[in-house]
Amino acid sequence: MVEKAGFTPSQIVIAATITGRVSMILFTGFLFMGSFRIVDMGLSASGALAWDGMLSLLFFVQHSGMIRKHFRARLANIIFPHYHGALFAIVSGMMLISVVVLWQSSNVPLYELRGFLRWPARGIFFLAIAGLAWGVLSLRSFDPFGGTAIRAHLRGEQLSPQPFVVRGPYLCVRHPLYFFTLLLIWSCPDMTADRLLFNCLWSVWICAGTILEERDLLSDFGEPYRKYQQRVPMLIPWKRPSNS
């Protein structure tokens, strides 16, 4: 168990919060500016693309694997369930930091938007940031670092299941956080070979992860979510907003 490893609940919450926030700040900077070139491994263009692809796939496997119900059911045999969210935040944060720090630039430019064309791309980026904030605030119970479950356990409380409520951008699209993340990814005005690889791989992963998450949500909420699926688009808000 976590306590037997010498970590207190407060230390775990702090570690999850710091790791999660640092990783998200670095990742946002990476999406906006491109590769930071922190570590230069001296790879060829093809070698850099292969390395970057491997980094991405490792993150996909870790992130998507740890978030699935069957993994958490097995993890419960080793670690108390109220620590699962914090552990996920720590491991995912470390993996995301590794992607950003170890990402290798291919030095193969494809295109660069200049002048007036550059501003719309930057505008879309910041609009997507605002959209993500809107989506998070609409959830209200959003807990990306797993601290809520730990604090509830320390108070001797049991977290009740969250009700199925639709508000904010969720009236327009079932997965607005993923939609706005896709906008962040593709709003980069400077496209290189490694950035195109990143955009394609991460877009496919987001789409695949959305489908897997849909199964979990349908299992959790049943018929209300099935009706929600029929009314509201999954990833692209192409219909008029739902009022219910």
* pLDDT score for 242: 60
Does the structure show a pLDDT above 70 at 243? no
Q: What is the pLDDT of residues 65-108, one digit of tens each?
A: 898 878 888 888 888 888 999 999 999 999 999 999 999 999 99
How high is the mean pLDDT of the chain?
91
For residues 47-65, give the mean pLDDT: 96
8 pLDDT band (50/70/90 cuts)? confident
What pLDDT does residue 125 have? Answer: 98
pLDDT at res. 74:
87
pLDDT of residue 57: 97
Q: What are the pLDDT digits (tens) for 112-171?
A: 999 999 999 999 999 999 999 999 999 888 888 988 888 888 888 877 777 888 999 999
pTM (2 d.p.): 0.91
User: What string of H, E and C letters represents the secondary structure of the chain?
Assistant: CCHHHCCCHHHHHHHHHHHHHHHHHHHHHHHHHCCCCCCCCCCCHHHHHHHHHHHHHHHHHHHHHHHCHHHHHHHCCCCCHHHHHHHHHHHHHHHHHHHHHHCCCCCCEEEECCHHHHHHHHHHHHHHHHHHHHHHHHHCCCCCCCHHHHHHHHCCCCCCCCCCCCCHHHHCCCCHHHHHHHHHHHCCCEEEHHHHHHHHHHHHHHHHHHHHHHHHHHHHHCHHHHHHHHHCCCCCCCCCCCCC
pLDDT digits (tens, 9 = 90+) for 165-219: 899 999 999 999 999 999 999 999 999 999 999 999 999 999 999 999 999 899 8
Predicted pLDDT at 9: 86
| pLDDT at 59 exceeding the cut of 60 | yes
